[in-house]
Structure 1
Amino acid sequence: MPPTLSALFILGILLASGMGVGWLAHRFKLPTLTGYLAAGVGINYFAHYIGVEHESLETLRLPINDFAMALALFVLGGQFKRRTGGSHSSEQPATMIRASLTESLFTFTIVGLLCTVAMHNIKGGILLGVLAIAVAPATTLEVLHEYGAKGRATRTLKTLTALSNVWAIFAFELVILLFIAITGASNIGLSGPIWDATGSVIYGLIAGHLLILFQERLGAGNYVVPLLVVILLTIGFCELTDVPHMLAFLATGAVVANRSSFFGHITGAMEGYAKPAFVLFFVLSGSHLQFDVMIDNWLVVGLYVLGRVIGKILGTHVGFNGFKSTPKLASAKNPPIGLGLLCQAGAAIALAGYVSRYNQELSETLLAIILGSVVVFELIGPLLVKRVVISAGEVDVGHLLSRSQYSTSSSSWFKAIKRTLFATQNIIPSDPNKVFVRDIMKPSTSALRRNDSMDKILYFANHSPFNHFPVVDRENMLLGIIVLKDLSEVAYDQQIANVITAEDVISLSTEQASISAGSRLSDALALFQDFDGNTVAVVEDSATPVMCGMLERTEVINLARRFQTKASH
């Protein structure tokens, strides 16, 4: 039997598996978090063979789940910032609240009725209707962040996700309160649900103001430690007083966003530590998916999934547009926002778990159904979030390409290993004046032809390791360079994309973005000082610009620094 592994070793295994399977998912044009979930599913089934105990996974899952949820809810809380004019009518607070309440009411009603009939249990059906309102904040945010989505639909998704969880929590506490008042079956009394909601908000308001104080007086420009202190202490206080912390972090984010200028700096600094936390969260969530539970409760789970899908899509559409039209999946002007609200995991599971304080048997039944439905929503939800923001034209083309910044062919892996194991200093001339562009460029004859269609441009971009794409004529003479970020302006307009050619979308002329192969290292440095991009084309001669390769800024700068280091010694 394999030895029991330490917690740090297990965390390393979880991160490594998530990173590897996430990369594989990206290669197949799936959200990377789908890969993280798949990695978790694999670890769950093979844990015993690699020495990972299921109890260890569960011990790690709870604190990591709390921490990742806190980060996501803090960011979503910032969506409640007051906006002064200029916003679209659909983004006005009254419109958002009306649409969110309508969506929540539709979802609650449809799911509640279907599940009540299937379960023959009014309490269970009503609570499942409430749980269906909740949306997974971490999953939704991670997909939007991965694809760099920006725009009205993205902001709407974030706001509706935050509001859905607010309504779910308040509705949950209200339903529990009514059940206690009617049946008197709980020893906790009426004060329990009331304190859950009000206590969570109070903690959040206090935490928000403490974060502002810590950041202003003790932060000294560090936007990481104060937030971590506040998050960990708030989770601790909530656990000590038996208060759910979801509303607390929404309130914390709202306070910081509205009462200070720190919110943008704090969320910007999250990138370094939030990413590994989210990877661990999704891998551990994948290990918690229970396919056997879904099969055992297939009827109720199926009705719950069906009712929630209908309620989210139809309710959101009616909330924004009334009954005058029907939602259209392919619409770019009015994307089906409800499809982006289907992710569900931690929030609903947590609420179902809280039911055990009032009715243990009912809580176990609800958890079985929610865990079964989470298998569906966590696997298809991220794909639908991606579909919504793409249909709205809010994702740059570069984020849709399956290739990474560097080539992932077997030869490129071999070269990377070779560079890692063997030093390259000896192949570089000792005199910088003897280094020419032809010595450090990446030889390439691959280029777009002037009459290539948009489909060919996107195919080329998807297989290029660069973000600048050369366009040549029949004689391989360089005509100019297409910049990746500029493709987004035309790729989403189907009418223009159908008639446009590579020559039409050239962004940089030959003079702006090329250098001759015979130029020296100093010439390349001078070019990149005034050039915004990371790569330029290399031509045989400026008079006859025949394309012969590509030159990267990093190669030039690293080589120049190496010579500078040698000279200083």
Structure 2
Amino acid sequence: MIDTIGTLLLGAADAGAVASESHSSSVEMVHIATTLGMLLTASLLAGLASEFLRLPKVTAYLIAGLLLGPSFGDVIPHEHHLVLEPLTKLAMALVLFYLGTLFPFDQIRRISRRAIPLSFGELVFTVILVTVGTYVLGMSAAQAALLGTLAIATAPATTMFVLRETNAEGPVTSLTGTLVTLNNLVAVIAFELVWLAIEVAGGDASGSISQTVLLLVRSLGGAFLLGLVGGLVISYACEIMHTRRWLVLLVGASALMLGLSESWELPYMLVFLVVGLVVVNSSSGTQKITAQMDSIGGLLTVVFFSVHGSELDLNLLMDVGMIGAGYVVLRSVGKVAGIWFMASRTGAPVEVRTWLGPAMLAQAGVAISLAATATSRNPEMAGEVQTIILGTVVVFEILGPLLTRAAVLKSGEMPIANSIHHTFGTPLGALRNVFTRLAGSAGLLSKKQALSERMRVEQVMRRSVVGIAESADFNEVVHFVEHSHDNTFPVLDEDRCVVGLIRFDLLNQAFFDPHSDHLVRAGDLATPPEVLLHPAQPVRDAVELFRHTTDDCVPVVTDEPPHRLVATVRRSDLTSLLIRDRKAGLS
């Protein structure tokens, strides 16, 4: 991995050395390695500060870049952004690769009925509000139509990084990933169609409509074909290669496909979504593949967001004026109201109605790329559109991650404890912890189980839990288990009270009974729960419980009878929290 990273950074340094020959005297003194070092150092410090301030790391990295960019320090030469562009695009490509792996075919079929209506409502509300609103505020019809189309796009890297950082899981989280994918696919296609309509309406079409449509089909079809071939090659290569060679394979294949996409003028975002989709449906080692990408993806993510932050210019936010402010409000209202409206009509859970919209507001790379494409085609008409996008990105990229994180926390899909960071304290507190651990190791002080003493179950539980109905037949139980991450499943009566637990080992025995499909119900497979947790109990009770059971999760029920299911506590969440607290050494 070190060799791979070193090769990437050395390549960037060599390219920067060539580019720096044409710089002004002040820029010539700044080497590309210095720029990269400043960005990484600032991001490191910002990441530590985010632990203390409880901010998403994405926001911290963006602010770190912003402080070094033209709005404040202005110490990053513009030419260096061009040199680092291959690294930032590779980071985006790996994020889109991962995003594609979230959609095995069986899951697509399962969530499409829920996701498509929500996506349709969001897109329609957003396009109409932004197009009509910006037209009323003074944009031309063509410019307003472009802004309405660009408003569809949601930043995939920003949104997915926040979801992975929070370890969130549930309907809001899964629908967010699905809608981000649909948004960007629709944005790319709709942009080309709207641009074609603008040219035809203005009589500026350089060729026939059929030629333009064929060019669009070639672009989208070529991206799909390249992604299909690339995904199959990666799946096959991972089958015949040792895992220690996978990292070089994945980075090399991704860089090659990125270069081919750029050379052939194919939308690389679509290419890597298809790659991930093909890999997850054709490889048996998808989790190992994504784990390999994580080993380099962390560094590339820091580079991506810090570089992206250093390109943000607060002066542009001032330049966009009333139209820019209107775009921010109209796009935000369109996404939130569109999802709320369709979720209400389709009977979606209240958490989805309330929090899915705010999770979708981040906007950056896709919109910027499409705006730049429009400007290159018609600078006079699209120049102001690009200014508005670049100016408002500052707002969406700073507030977007905060809202996404708040959405998964408020919807109960992220344990409260995950929002409490334990890796940063005051210098005096850190010094005290060092000597406390030293004294404890020497036997002079008793070691404290600080976290389990001061935290309650409600801070570590996951509220996004469904459970299996007591009357569910065997096929329904199997369907539930198939899409669950646990191996212990609560069975509920009509009042959502826990009547028992289905454990995977018992369920495994039922698989061999040919009459199970018709005769067995969930209640027949369930065993009475030995112990249940309550939200107000101290975490030490949960720790003690897991010491005496092999279950991977324990139901949490209300304190007052009837004891209805409200959440579960996972062994993995509790273990991770205890390990993190032990490493931090907080007293």
**TM-score normalised over the length of structure 2:** 0.70
Asked if 1:409 corresponds to 2:426, the answer is yes
Residues 1:535 and 1:138: Cα distance change in structure 2 (over 3 Å): closer
Partner of 2:322: 299
Instruction: Flag structure 2 segments of 5+ consecutive residues without an equivalent.
Output: 1-25, 466-531, 549-573
Q: Residue type of the partner of 2:195?
A: I
Matches within 5 A, 1:168-567: 168-187=187-206, 190=212, 191-218=214-241, 220=243, 222-322=245-345, 332=351, 334-404=353-423, 408-411=425-428, 413-414=430-431, 439-440=441-442, 443=445, 468-470=451-453, 487-488=460-461, 500=536, 502=538, 505=541, 507-508=543-544
The alignment partner of 1:75 has SS state of helix
Tell me how far 1:417 sits from its aligned partner: 9.8
Tell me how far 1:333 sits from its aligned partner: 7.1
Q: Residue type of the partner of 1:14?
A: L
Partner of 2:47: 22
Name the CA distance, whole Å, in 1 between partners of 2:440 and 2:317.
60
Q: Is the 8 A contact 2:375 2:386 kept in 1?
A: no
Name the CA distance, whole Å, in 2 between partners of 1:489 and 1:351.
39
Moved more, 171-180 or 377-386: 171-180
Tell me how far 1:160 sits from its aligned partner: 0.8
Tell me how far 1:401 sits from its aligned partner: 0.7
Q: Residue type of the partner of 2:543?
A: S
Partner of 1:518: none
Residues 1:84 and 1:26: Cα distance change in structure 2 (over 3 Å): closer
Partner of 2:58: 33
Name the CA distance, whole Å, in 2 between partners of 1:2 and 1:122.
42
Name the CA distance, whole Å, in 2 between partners of 1:417 and 1:240.
54
Residues 1:77 and 1:333: Cα distance change in structure 2 (over 3 Å): closer
Residues 1:438 and 1:152: Cα distance change in structure 2 (over 3 Å): same
The alignment partner of 1:169 has SS state of helix
Q: Is the 8 A contact 1:111 1:128 kept in 2?
A: yes
Q: Is the 8 A contact 1:345 1:378 kept in 2?
A: yes
Matches within 5 A, 1:126-145: 126-145=145-164
The alignment partner of 2:167 has SS state of coil
Q: Residue type of the partner of 1:391?
A: K
Tell me how far 1:183 sits from its aligned partner: 3.7
Name the CA distance, whole Å, in 2 between partners of 1:554 and 1:363.
51
Name the CA distance, whole Å, in 2 between partners of 1:415 and 1:439.
14
Q: Is the 8 A contact 2:223 2:267 kept in 1?
A: yes
Residues 1:17 and 1:441: Cα distance change in structure 2 (over 3 Å): farther
Partner of 2:522: none
Tell me how far 1:298 sits from its aligned partner: 1.6
Tell me how far 1:273 sits from its aligned partner: 1.0
Please tell me the root mean square deviation across aligned C-alpha atoms, in Å.
3.8
Q: Match for 2:118 among 96, 99, 124?
A: 99
Residues 1:218 and 1:78: Cα distance change in structure 2 (over 3 Å): same
Q: Is the 8 A contact 2:339 2:357 kept in 1?
A: yes
Work out the percentage of aligned pairs sharing the same amino acid: 28
Residues 1:506 and 1:78: Cα distance change in structure 2 (over 3 Å): closer
Tell me how far 1:469 sits from its aligned partner: 2.5
Q: Is the 8 A contact 1:68 1:281 kept in 2?
A: yes
Residues 1:138 and 1:504: Cα distance change in structure 2 (over 3 Å): closer
Moved more, 193-202 or 72-81: 193-202
Name the CA distance, whole Å, in 2 between partners of 1:118 and 1:41.
29
Q: Residue type of the partner of 2:225?
A: I
Q: Match for 1:76 among 82, 96, 99?
A: 99
Moved more, 175-184 or 64-73: 175-184
Asked if 1:158 corresponds to 2:177, the answer is yes
Name the CA distance, whole Å, in 2 between partners of 1:250 and 1:397.
31
Q: Count residues in correspondence.
A: 463
Tell me how far 1:82 sits from its aligned partner: 1.4
Q: Deviations over 1:320-373 (max 9, x none)?
A: 332889x9xxx5475420110000001100111111342122332221000111
Name the CA distance, whole Å, in 1 between partners of 2:265 and 2:577.
56
Q: Residue type of the partner of 2:77?
A: E
Residues 1:175 and 1:554: Cα distance change in structure 2 (over 3 Å): closer
Q: Deviations over 1:230-275 (max 9, x none)?
A: 2111111111122221111111111111222232221122222111
Asked if 1:53 corresponds to 2:77, the answer is yes
Tell me how far 1:206 sits from its aligned partner: 2.0
Q: Is the 8 A contact 1:173 1:197 kept in 2?
A: no
- Larger relative helix fraction: 2
Q: Is the 8 A contact 1:223 1:265 kept in 2?
A: no
Residues 1:124 and 1:334: Cα distance change in structure 2 (over 3 Å): closer
Q: Residue type of the partner of 1:208?
A: G
Partner of 1:433: none
Tell me how far 1:48 sits from its aligned partner: 6.6
Q: Deviations over 1:363-410 (max 9, x none)?
A: 322210001111111111111101110122111233111332xx6232
Partner of 1:525: none
Q: Deviations over 1:6-49 (max 9, x none)?
A: 32332122111011112212211111211111111111148877
Q: Is the 8 A contact 1:99 1:320 kept in 2?
A: yes
Q: Residue type of the partner of 2:35?
A: I
Structure with higher Rg: it is 1
Name the CA distance, whole Å, in 2 between partners of 1:361 and 1:251.
35
Residues 1:49 and 1:153: Cα distance change in structure 2 (over 3 Å): closer
Name the CA distance, whole Å, in 2 between partners of 1:22 and 1:195.
43
**TM-score normalised over the length of structure 1:** 0.72
Q: Is the 8 A contact 1:102 1:316 kept in 2?
A: yes
The alignment partner of 2:228 has SS state of helix
Partner of 2:144: 125
Q: Is the 8 A contact 1:107 1:311 kept in 2?
A: yes
Q: Is the 8 A contact 2:168 2:413 kept in 1?
A: yes
